[in-house]
């Protein structure tokens, strides 16, 4: 039977990946800004319903790598990529892929919370509206659901029409998370989401991320190694655009296999 319907090797590998829960497969991915290589031949698998942490010194390409996962780097002029990034087995860098749809499926929360100067409600509804949803009841329902998912509903349910700019820093960041969740992404990317927040607000976001992974695949870039240790399941150490090590978080932080990783996590540089 097998000989009558041969499955090609690559397809078999793909099926295997999917059954192993691989959501994002990065294959020999490189990225260039104006001819300067920012990401060097990185390959890694990111699994469904897990938190993948990315650590590394400043300028190591963490953010560039993260922004490659939803093609936000396309916006930058003179940039170029090589290799493939597969989400559920299809390459998001294929020429015929609709980049707008990729960005809907792969949400992003930025380093500096960027609520739009609109009401709290309109912020969360923004993504729904630009994706063509007009049904008011649905939007109202979805806004409430997303705010609940982002653990912000209790704080804001009585002031949905107030400006989002009146919220505190931590609340603004959770609003941005709610906004990202409203368009039903499959993956959520976090780019140092707590770097401007106090410890209490940070703890809330970390708890939130732990809850979110039940439903979404999470990739988080962080400057804070304790944070990576606390919340990630797998952790990648990036340096000068190269993936030095990628392993189970507890192993990275207790017995890393490379000397340079150990030097970094013990604070010898960075």
Partner 1 sequence: MTKKRLKEIIGFVLLRICIGIVAFILIVILYDIISKGAGKISWEFLTAMPKKGMTEGGILPAIIGTILVTIITAVLAVPLGMGCAIYLNEYARDNKITRLIRMSIRNLSGVPSIVYGLFGVVLFVQLMHLGTCILSAGLTLGLMTLPWTITASEEALKNVPNSYREGALALGATKWQAVKTNVLPYAIPGMLTGTILGLARAAGETTPILFTGAAFYLPFLPKSLFSQFMALPYHLYIMSTQHHAITKVRPIAYGTALVLIVLVFTLNLSAIILRYRLRKRKME
Q: Pick between residue 125 and residue 201 the one whose CB is nearest to partner 1.
A: 125
User: Is there a contact between 56 and 72 (Cβ–Cβ < 8 Å)?
Assistant: no
Among 116, 169, 203, 215, interactor with partner 1 by CB under 8 A: 116
| Closest distance to partner 1 from the beta carbon of 223 (Å) | 19
User: Between residues 174 and 230, which has the closer beta carbon with respect to partner 1?
Assistant: 174
Tell me the closest approach of the beta carbon of residue 141 to partner 1, in angstroms: 18
Q: Which is nearer to partner 1, 189 or 209 (CB)?
A: 189
| Residues 176-205, interacting with partner 1 (CB under 8 A) | 176, 179-180, 183
Instruction: Report, in Å, the least distance between residue 35 CB and partner 1.
Output: 15
107 binds partner 1 (CB under 8 A): yes
Find the shortest distance in angstroms from Cβ 233 to partner 1.
Answer: 24
The sheet with strand 106-109 has its strands ordered as 106-109, 187-191, 217-221, 51-55, 234-239, 242-248
Q: Among 22, 69, 72, 86, indicate the residue that binds partner 1 (CB under 8 A).
A: 72
The torsion defined by the Cα of 240, 35, 91 and 127, in degrees rounded to 10, comes to 90
76 binds partner 1 (CB under 8 A): no
State the nearest-atom distance from the C-beta of 77 to partner 1, in Å: 6
Query: Of 192, 152, 153, whose CA–CA distance to 174 is shortest?
Result: 152
Q: Rounded to an integer, what distance in angstroms lies between the CA atom of residue 226 and that of residue 53?
A: 11
Q: How far is the CB of 139 from partner 1 (least distance, A)?
A: 14
Nearer to partner 1, 74 or 247 (CB): 74
Token code pair at residue 69:
């996962």
Within positions 118 to 177, which residues make up the interface with partner 1, using CB under 8 A? 126-127, 129-131, 163, 165, 176
CA 36 to chain centre: 24
Angle between helices 136-149 and 120-130 (to 10 degrees): 120
Q: How far lies 21's CA from each of 48, 108, 175, 187, 207, in Å?
A: 5, 21, 29, 13, 23
Helices within 106-149 (DSSP H only): 120-130, 136-149
Q: What is the DSSP letter of 255?
A: S
Q: Considering the complex, what minimum distance in angstroms separates the CB of residue 252 from partner 1?
A: 28
Q: DSSP letters of 186-250?
A: SEEEEESTTTTS-HHHHHHHHHHHHHHTTTSEEEEE-S-HHHHHHH-SEEEEEETTEEEEEEEHH
Q: Which of 86, 87, 108, 151 binds partner 1 (CB under 8 A)?
A: 108
Is 104 among the residues that bind partner 1 (CB under 8 A)?
yes
CB of 64 or CB of 70, closer to partner 1: 70
Applying CB under 8 A, the residues found at the interface with partner 1 are 70, 72, 75, 77, 100-101, 103-104, 107-108, 110, 112, 114, 116-117, 126-127, 129-131, 163, 165, 176, 179-180, 183
């Amino acid at each position: 039977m097998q000989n009558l319907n041969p499955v090609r090797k690559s397809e078999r590998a793909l099926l295997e990946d999917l059954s192993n829960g691989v959501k994002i497969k990065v294959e020999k991915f490189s990225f260039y800004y104006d001819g300067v290589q920012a990401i060097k031949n990185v390959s890694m698998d990111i699994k469904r319903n897990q938190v993948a942490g990315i650590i590394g010194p400043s300028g190591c390409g963490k953010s560039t790598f993260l922004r490659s996962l939803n093609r936000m780097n396309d916006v930058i002029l003179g940039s170029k990529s090589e290799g493939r990034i597969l989400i559920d087995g299809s390459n998001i860098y294929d020429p015929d892929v609709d980049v707008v749809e990729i960005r809907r499926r792969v949400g992003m929360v930025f380093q500096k919370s960027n609520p739009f100067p609109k009401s709290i409600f309109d912020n969360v509804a923004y993504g729904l509206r630009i994706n063509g949803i007009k049904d008011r009841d649905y939007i109202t329902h979805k806004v409430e659901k997303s705010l609940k998912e982002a653990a912000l509903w209790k704080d804001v349910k009585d002031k949905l029409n107030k400006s989002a700019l009146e919220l505190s820093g931590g609340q603004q960041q959770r609003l941005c998370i709610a906004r990202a969740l409203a368009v039903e992404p499959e993956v959520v990317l976090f780019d140092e989401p707590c770097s401007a927040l106090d410890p209490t607000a940070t703890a809330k976001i970390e708890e939130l991320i732990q809850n979110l992974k039940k439903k979404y695949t999470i990739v988080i870039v962080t400057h804070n190694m304790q944070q990576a240790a606390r919340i990630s399941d797998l952790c990648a150490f990036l340096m000068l655009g190269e993936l030095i090590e990628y392993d189970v978080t507890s192993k990275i932080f207790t017995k890393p296999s490379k000397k340079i990783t150990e030097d970094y996590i013990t604070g010898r540089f960075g």
